[in-house]
Structure 1
Amino acid sequence: MDALSDRELHDASHLTEDQLSLRYKLTPTDARQTVLRDRWLATPDVKLSDYRFEARFDWIEIGVSTNKPVVPVHDVQPKLKKALDDPIRGGVHVTSKLNRNKLEETRDLLILLHDPSRRRFEKIFNVLEQQFGVMGSEGWVQHEVWSWELAVDIYPKRTRARDDDDMIARRVQMSELIRKHVAPSPMLMTGMFLDPKDWMRSHDGVELMPQFAGSLGQRAQHLKDTHKLHLSAADPDNHRAAAIDNTVYIAAKYRVGKYRLQDKIRDKRKRGQRTPPLPVDERRTRIEITVGSHQDTGLEERYETGINTIDDIASYSFDTLRRDLFNFELPTLAKDETGHPAEEELAVFSKTGSLGLKLMAQGRRVIERAKGIRDGTGRLLLPVRQKAHNLRFEDLNCKIRDALKAVATTFEEG
């Protein structure tokens, strides 16, 4: 299968599959736990020190209330934009908190600022206090952080690359690595994103494609309460790979937490259109996590991060955020009768990564339990643990953690 959905539009179109492929080292797990025993640990053959990791807020959305009975929403945004007076930085968007309507009159506003910083919020707060009657003192108004998006960008280091082609190949390999090892946090998603709208899927700018597919047909009576994701993921033939130039999404739009994974060679992409590519040194692997009630249907559902006001950012422990949201795992692979990695698991990993392997193991165990299959002692088989047969990807997790530590400083000084 070609790793690119449209070779004419991607910067790696002239490179071979061998140049773009991510290679792995296999080592015995040597683990005592039954779930890990007699398996191969698969570790990507990539030097993380050859990459630069950067993290920042992409945008932050706050809620404020005016002292006036109502204000026209469409009057607020132009005045905030004028106060920011920064055409190079991201813009500001204002809507009603009730239904995100930009045209109505209300006293409860949502303000979303792209490329946020303390200095830019101070300018916004001055306008809100002086012109729209939002309570505050010394330019710092009463507000609540409603939602935000945090991005981690991973750049190949120019000093470690031979030429532009090597830069491109290294970036593509990292983009593939992120997809193969991402471990979404179940704490953000009800039922561990078992709703079909939550499933891992990819988008090529025109069409959205699920990565777990297949017709399930009529379910047996004992499986009628089994989630579709478990039934689908249990069958390796239902796993689908995403082309590297597709954006991968995990979790539904209305969730309080959702993931987007990109091989980012352009700053913006409108539906069906692609803008000119960035300079080679600015192209990167990107991980975006959106937290909060950004979508209309999610206003009543919140995830408490501890960032309740802009002031909280300076003292916030982003290491906690790393543990909660930015997790990556290494897969272990079963051995076949010859001692080699089982082809079935290799095939699944090549398509949906360690997440796909985890869901396959969990799905098969759910089905076995639904069928009443028991172990040698007569007990019902235990559910598969949260990580299934995976292990923590400590080296990558540490790189992400170190990048997140700089987020507060970037926000305060930006």
Structure 2
Amino acid sequence: MIRSVPLVFNDPAYHDPKDAEHLCLPYTVAPCPNSQRRFAGRLHAVPRLDLSTYEFRAVFDWIEISVETKRDRSSVNLYNRLRKLNEDFGAFRTCFVASPTRGSAHSGRGHVIKMQDPAPGGLPGLLRAFLREDCAPGCALDDIPVTGMELSLDVYPAPRFCEGDYAVRRMLMTELLRKHVAVAVAEVFREDRRHPRFVHKVYKTGSNTTTQRVVAPRGAAKHRVKKRAPEIGLRPLDIASCDPAHHHQPFVDATLYFGQKGERLSYRLMDKITDNRKGDMADDLSCHRTRSRAEFTLIDETPGDGLGPASVGISSINDLALDGLASFNTLLGFELPTFRRDASDPEIPDRDAWEIFAKTGVAGLAQREDALDVMEGDRDTLRARARQRVQSSGKLLRFSNLNARATKALRRLEKRWRRDWL
């Protein structure tokens, strides 16, 4: 069986009107191939998009380190010093210098340095010169702690496609990544400030607005849900997630977020057609440089607290080149949805479940399944349970083909850093 998910747009001028009929992501729906008990009798959906017609690349957007200088230095002075060194080494595109708590206009010995587009060929030389001439004695390259990083998975349609086909294929891949991204510790991103949400400009007015992917009910529905929530030990938003009406599909021309800026872990997914954005201004990319992008940010919430890169084995700048990125496979992965069969026709997915997946992907579907598991449980147990955060149900399948492509891109990034670093 073939089912399709239409793409939605905020700005109707974002795509060529002639492409509208092709801007649907098709799926093959079939019985689950997995024999495990939790998948018994369920259906699963696989996107009908040929991944071999795409190129996958992984890059570091930026890396943040913490250093201590020999004497008090202002952030502006240190920035100028690093920029001068960079003329010789070409270690990054630009950098930013902040206080140990990431504050601006800082003067002291402790500093946090964020390097944009770091280059492994020039970075060791620049850092050694910086350590030798500017930093406190005894600090070696191996000892420079990494306090933050942003890693991106960029997916490009094959360059052989003409502009029109290239754009359509890129937008379909953007939708696919959003539908299937499996964020680490998914239930954490259901909390109030971390809700998946998409940000876009209001058409014709130009002002930014944010829309939650799953929204709480309003009016009479809000009253019913709030009354029911204490009885079954769930939050109102978890109950609301069972109703497709409370799910909103992100626009392709919007940026999708999981998590809160400044916290340990966050994700951002976009259809990247511009670069070097400053406020409302940005440079348009040429057609074959546009791509689908999934950005993953891992930081120490307070530099040096060890919550960020150190928690996945990246403690020092040297670890990036020598220890590899294997642990990132657990943080940046993709999954396929599975569905209960519809009560009126067992050959098709449950109608509500399919509509929810079509709007909010595997994240929205998993939240709905988790809530249903609790709501359909033993009533006495539910009444005795305090309000809880629902946990991941495990009713998703690994998207093996897409994960393999992402893993290969990470390995190529590892090899490039190891080769150029040494």
Is TM more than 0.5 here?
A: yes
Match of 1:393 among 391, 395, 399: 399
- Equivalent position SS for 2:275: coil
- Equivalent position SS for 1:42: strand
Does the 8 A contact of 1:331 with 1:391 survive in 2? yes
Structure 2 residue identity aligned to 1:128 = F
Q: Distance in 2 between matches of 1:84 and 1:263?
A: 31
Normalized per residue, which structure has more strand?
A: 2
Aligned to 2:319: 312
Does the 8 A contact of 1:195 with 1:229 survive in 2? no
Q: Distance in 2 between matches of 1:301 and 1:369?
A: 39
Aligned to 2:351: 343
Q: Count residues with an aligned counterpart.
A: 392
Instruction: Flag the 1:155–1:328 CA change in 2: closer, same or farther, 3 A.
Output: same
- Equivalent position SS for 1:291: strand
- Post-superposition shift, 1:114? 0.7
Please report the TM-score for the alignment, with normalisation by the length of structure 2: 0.85
- Post-superposition shift, 1:141? 7.4
| Partner deviation per Cα, 1:362-397 (whole Å, 9 max, x = no partner) | 1222344584378xxxxxxxx987353211000000
Does the 8 A contact of 2:86 with 2:92 survive in 1? no
Residue 18 of structure 1 pairs with residue 28 of structure 2: no
What does 1:373-384 align with in structure 2 at a 5 Å threshold? Answer: none
Q: Distance in 2 between matches of 1:32 and 1:154?
A: 32
Structure 2 residue identity aligned to 1:204 = H
Structure 1 residue identity aligned to 2:150 = E
- Equivalent position SS for 2:316: coil
- Equivalent position SS for 1:193: helix
Aligned to 2:287: 280
- Equivalent position SS for 2:380: coil
Instruction: Flag the 1:299–1:253 CA change in 2: closer, same or farther, 3 A.
Output: farther
Residue 407 of structure 1 pairs with residue 413 of structure 2: yes
| Partner deviation per Cα, 1:314-373 (whole Å, 9 max, x = no partner) | 222423311x11111111122223222221111101100111111101122234458437
Aligned to 2:148: 147
| Partner deviation per Cα, 1:118-159 (whole Å, 9 max, x = no partner) | 34333542453344333357x847410111000110000023
Does the 8 A contact of 2:234 with 2:390 survive in 1? no
Q: Distance in 2 between matches of 1:331 and 1:347?
A: 12
**Quick check: 309-318 or 36-45, which moved more?**
309-318
Aligned to 1:103: 105
Residue 167 of structure 1 pairs with residue 166 of structure 2: yes
Residue 184 of structure 1 pairs with residue 183 of structure 2: yes
| Partner deviation per Cα, 1:147-200 (whole Å, 9 max, x = no partner) | 1000110000023x3x211111110110000011111010xx7x6223211111
Instruction: Flag the 1:223–1:235 CA change in 2: closer, same or farther, 3 A.
Output: farther
Does the 8 A contact of 1:56 with 1:410 survive in 2? no
Instruction: Flag the 1:317–1:148 CA change in 2: closer, same or farther, 3 A.
Output: same
What does 1:191-270 align with in structure 2 at a 5 Å threshold? Answer: 192-205=188-201, 206-215=208-217, 216-217=222-223, 218-220=226-228, 222-223=230-231, 226-270=234-278
Structure 1 residue identity aligned to 2:269 = L
Q: Distance in 1 between matches of 2:90 and 2:122?
A: 13
Structure 2 residue identity aligned to 1:44 = P
Indicate the percent of aligned positions where both proteins have the same amino acid. 26
Aligned to 2:12: 7
Instruction: Flag the 1:276–1:57 CA change in 2: closer, same or farther, 3 A.
Output: closer
- Equivalent position SS for 1:54: strand
- Equivalent position SS for 1:46: coil
Instruction: Flag the 1:252–1:224 CA change in 2: closer, same or farther, 3 A.
Output: farther
Q: Distance in 2 between matches of 1:101 and 1:288?
A: 24
Q: Distance in 2 between matches of 1:277 and 1:120?
A: 28
- Equivalent position SS for 1:5: coil
Tell me, which stretches of 5 or more residues in structure 2 are unaligned? 1-5, 202-207, 383-388
Instruction: Flag the 1:63–1:180 CA change in 2: closer, same or farther, 3 A.
Output: same
- Post-superposition shift, 1:228? 4.6
- Equivalent position SS for 1:174: helix
Match of 1:112 among 85, 95, 114: 114
Q: Distance in 1 between matches of 2:103 and 2:283?
A: 32
- Equivalent position SS for 1:147: strand
Tell me, which stretches of 5 or more residues in structure 1 are unaligned? 375-382
Q: Distance in 1 between matches of 2:7 and 2:157?
A: 23
Please report the TM-score for the alignment, with normalisation by the length of structure 1: 0.86
